[in-house]
Amino acid sequence: MAERNERAERPERPDKKIPPEQPERDYAAYDRDLLELQRVDFALVELTLYLDTHPTDMQAVQQFNQLAQRRQQLAGEFEMKYGPLLQFGHSYTRYPWRWADCPWPWQV
């Protein structure tokens, strides 16, 4: 029996009514954009660990800086589309306040 793909079968917000001023979230695009951000985050963590033991590797430092810049760009685009990734002043928000909108990035 094939395993179920929970993400692909997620219902369209079954227990919540979407206020008329907020369009329904495109879960496929949300998942795709979040996955790209997570890929860059993973590479940054791995490069951080590598650079802790190889601090003079210029190519790794350059790659880290390129990915850090890419991450900043992706995070900004993600937040403009879907709302803040972080709270307590680490991310900007749009009006209306969208922090309480589900799902949060760690719930996907």
Q: Is residue 39 part of a domain?
A: yes
Q: Give the per-residue SS3 of 17-45.
A: CCCCCCCCCCHHHHHHHHHHHHHHHHHHH
**pLDDT one-digit tens code per residue, 51-91:** 999 999 999 999 999 999 999 999 999 988 888 887 665 55
Residue 53 maps to a domain: yes
Domains held by the chain: number: 1
- State how far the Cα of 86 lies from the Cα of 40, in Å rounded to an integer: 16
Establish if 16 belongs to a structural domain. Answer: no
Residue at 102 is within a domain = yes
Task: Work out the pLDDT band at 13, boundaries 50, 70, 90.
Answer: low
Tens digit of pLDDT for each residue in 39-53? 999 999 999 999 999
Q: Does 8 fall in a domain?
A: no
Give the contacts of 27 (CB within 8 A, at least 6 positions apart).
7, 10, 12
Q: Is residue 20 domain-resident?
A: no
Write out the residue range of the structural domain in which residue 94 sits.
Answer: 27-107
Encoded tokens for 46: 């791995």
**Residue 2, domain member (yes or no):** no
Cα angle, residue 81 at apex, residues 77 and 86 outer, rounded to 5°: 70
Digit-coded pLDDT (tens) for 23-37 = 566 788 999 999 999
Q: What is the pLDDT of residue 67?
A: 93
The CA-to-CA distance between both ends of the chain, in Å, stands at: 24
pLDDT, residue 27, reads 84
